[in-house]
Amino acid sequence: MMRTIAVEEAFSLPQLATRVAPWGGKSVLRPDRAAEWARRLPDFDELRLAEMDAHGVDVAVLSLTAPGIQVQPDTAVAVTDAAIANDALAEIVARQPDRYAGLAALPLQNPDAAADELDGRSARWGSTVPW
pLDDT in tens, 54-79: 999 999 999 998 878 988 999 999 99
> Does position 7 have pLDDT exceeding 50, yes or no?
yes
3-class DSSP state for residue 104?
coil
The matching CATH number, chosen from 1.25.40.10, 3.20.20.80, 3.20.20.140, 3.90.550.10, for 5-119 is 3.20.20.140
Most confident of 19-23, 24-28, 73-77, 115-119: 73-77
What's the pLDDT band for 21 if we cut at 50, 70, 90? Answer: low
Contact 41, 12 (CB under 8 A): yes
| Residue extents of the structural domains in the chain | 5-119
Whole-prediction pTM value? 0.83
> Does position 89 have pLDDT exceeding 80, yes or no?
yes
pLDDT at position 25: 57
Most confident of 15-19, 30-34, 100-104: 100-104
121 or 13, greater pLDDT: 13
Surface-to-core class of residue 72, CB atoms within 10 Å of its CB (0-12 exposed, 13-18 middle, 19+ buried): buried
Name the amino acid, one letter, at 25.
G
Task: State how far the Cα of 101 lies from the Cα of 115, in Å rounded to an integer.
Answer: 20
Any idea which of 24-33, 100-109, 121-130 has the lowest mean pLDDT?
121-130
User: CA angle, corner 38, sides to 36 and 41, nearest 5?
Assistant: 100
